[in-house]
Structure 1
């Protein structure tokens, strides 16, 4: 039983009392809350193996005869200790979503095994933006200082006209966004972010298995059989195997391959030191910022990855390739073709195309509509791109 008594200093000038109870429990078989004047009790019935955390805030409002302000009642809690439940989680997929989920679960005392199909934990791609809502969580995990060894904090986002390069608008990130949300907006290489996450998962004793591509899931028995024939058993199975998820197909009982959005995405990187020697490209590297060019049915995004000494450039345009000729990505594209596609764009862009050695492209994908991200057995859930494949830009 949890008992809370209000502050006796509260007088009759307070008109109403509002109780907010937040319950975080793995399983709550039932709940009963009773409250009255001056004494508030909350009683929850849980199975013996579960843990409950109870927090409560009482907010009182003054009557109309007094000023329009609020006060807070403070409560003392008497709690009883309930043994914590430890579940066995099998996370299929060792990308950013899968390893992040593993860290969150391990931090809460669960046993986690990550099954990665590839022979090593690696991330396809180059740059990634990590906004304040994500860096705040990483900071809570104690990882922000480690990420700052690899990350850059851009000063702002500049939006420019595709042809003239004229600045159309500026969104300040430092100090505006950082002050408002109390956490930084970072850019870094995807592989560096994954490396920090994998190191933390190891520190938390997450079992990391590579070369373990899932071939079959028995949802009733809560087992995963890999292509090599190994069988893993858990209490909860998490499908985190990306946009081309096999676990999504298994859970849905049908092909749920993502669809094309009708847009192509191109990516290239340019040596930062080389760009610093060019007058037209120098300010794209220093001071650090994100630059976005807006054009007719196209846009281009550019930011520097200081730890890798490269500038990450992403192009997006409508896909005019006949459906039957479309290829899965990423595919190499000749730089001559890139210059043909973007012939009249801002001079710094055209110069970066001259400096780049290679580029790749792929069709942007979106997930098919599915009714649920879980399985009727109650022990399987999809997360990340496996659940909601979406293009990198709206």
Structure 2
């Protein structure tokens, strides 16, 4: 039997993880990235235990540990008083409970960790995909420069603006979620006097929220503020905002938050869009994964983590299918669609939890949350048990 060859469109977190996982299983793979270099953009992200478990299986644990931070817990506070309303353990408690660490990292540094396992071959930059064709014998890619590539399977890991998705299902207009994200990175010394602690801080307020934590081995403080707005911004990682506008958005918030915003050298303002769910991610020998398949709101910090899960499960399905690519892709979709759909819904529910604006509802929420706010006795809520306890290897074994 001829050796299987897998093609990947997209060199982000999901695409590179898929390449590493396929190589680990002895499968030939070639990756195509449209940019001239792997993109070192973005800000902080959380590498939760479900994703870290996979990166450790890929041999990247030590490299990740060097650049990440290891927060002790997730600390939920009120927007104006800074009262602690809720707490869930991370750090050693989460690692012991879930069997793998929970990290926070800069997106560019996580990408560097993944690239450290990639080597110098098997990928091509400047490859802007123009057309996808397939037949019973395989799949063919045509690029904007006229070059082509052939393989047995194509993985569309090309993000929320996916060319592969548009090829399979037609172009669609993005749906504005009604939220704008403000992002910033602050040198740690500028906020050292605030005593922010080694936590993922979640600040909840009417119609807006902020999540914050250290990245880059503690050298940089990362924050993302999300606010409901009828005026969408650009849908771009690089769209800049103004400090005075961000301060106006968070007018009346606790001085800690306003100081962090004021100390931020450059603020980004990005509209949050999503796409309508797809009934299937597979068409023949082509399959979508990550944001190309299931873009989600950032309220549970799972965009990157779910792409990592996708990548590992997809590689396992392909390796175990013994030359039956259509069966492999169908199994992948069956395994992953229910979990990612649940995660998309959970992220939407968190938006309402964080940003509710009804006074009675806020009072009821705060009273309910205060029952789990003592760090020494705090426990993991059921959704975190389900989310962080996920073991991709075990899921493959159970479905085999």
TM-score scaled by structure 2?
0.71
2:299 is aligned with 1:379: no
Alignment match, 1:238: 155
Summarize the Cα distance change of 1:230–1:89 in structure 2 as closer, same or farther, 3 Å threshold: same
Q: Assess if the C-alpha contact under 8 Å between 1:258 and 1:389 holds in 2.
A: no
1:1-394 paired onto structure 2 within 5 Å: 49=1, 86-202=3-119, 207-220=122-135, 221-252=138-169, 254-276=170-192, 278=193, 281=194, 283-284=195-196, 287-307=197-217, 309-321=219-231, 326-330=233-237, 331-375=239-283, 378-393=284-299, 394=347
Q: Distance in 2 between matches of 1:308 and 1:235?
A: 44
Q: Distance in 1 between matches of 2:261 and 2:109?
A: 25
SS in 1 for 2:256: helix
Q: Assess if the C-alpha contact under 8 Å between 1:162 and 1:294 holds in 2.
A: yes
Structure with more strand by fraction? 1
Q: Distance in 1 between matches of 2:52 and 2:291?
A: 20
Q: Assess if the C-alpha contact under 8 Å between 1:106 and 1:206 holds in 2.
A: no
Which one is further off, 342-351 or 193-202?
Answer: 193-202
Q: 1:302 Cα deviation (Å)? A: 0.6
Q: Assess if the C-alpha contact under 8 Å between 2:106 and 2:216 holds in 1.
A: no
Count, aligned residues: 297
Q: 1:170 Cα deviation (Å)? A: 1.4
Q: Assess if the C-alpha contact under 8 Å between 1:248 and 1:386 holds in 2.
A: yes
Q: 1:144 Cα deviation (Å)? A: 0.7
Q: 1:206 Cα deviation (Å)? A: 5.4
Q: Distance in 2 between matches of 1:304 and 1:243?
A: 27
Q: Assess if the C-alpha contact under 8 Å between 1:267 and 1:360 holds in 2.
A: yes
Q: 1:258 Cα deviation (Å)? A: 2.9
Q: Distance in 2 between matches of 1:384 and 1:257?
A: 19
Q: Assess if the C-alpha contact under 8 Å between 2:200 and 2:213 holds in 1.
A: yes
Q: Assess if the C-alpha contact under 8 Å between 1:154 and 1:173 holds in 2.
A: yes
Q: Assess if the C-alpha contact under 8 Å between 1:248 and 1:256 holds in 2.
A: no
SS in 2 for 1:333: coil
SS in 2 for 1:303: strand
SS in 1 for 2:191: helix
Q: Assess if the C-alpha contact under 8 Å between 2:186 and 2:264 holds in 1.
A: yes
Q: Distance in 1 between matches of 2:271 and 2:183?
A: 12
Q: Distance in 2 between matches of 1:306 and 1:137?
A: 20
Q: Distance in 2 between matches of 1:271 and 1:307?
A: 12
Q: Which runs of 5+ in 1 are unaligned?
A: 1-48, 50-84
Q: 1:308 Cα deviation (Å)? A: 6.9
Give per-residue Cα distances to partners, 1:135-174, cap 9 Å, x unaligned.
Answer: 1111111111111110110011111100011111111112
Q: 1:360 Cα deviation (Å)? A: 0.9
Structure with more helix by fraction? 2
Which one is further off, 99-108 or 366-375?
Answer: 366-375
Q: Distance in 2 between matches of 1:358 and 1:198?
A: 27
Q: Which runs of 5+ in 2 are unaligned?
A: 300-346, 348-400
Which entry has the higher C-alpha Rg, 1 or 2?
A: 1
Q: 1:123 Cα deviation (Å)? A: 3.9
Q: Assess if the C-alpha contact under 8 Å between 1:244 and 1:257 holds in 2.
A: no
Give per-residue Cα distances to partners, 1:293-326, cap 9 Å, x unaligned.
Answer: 01012110010114372110100111221x7xx5
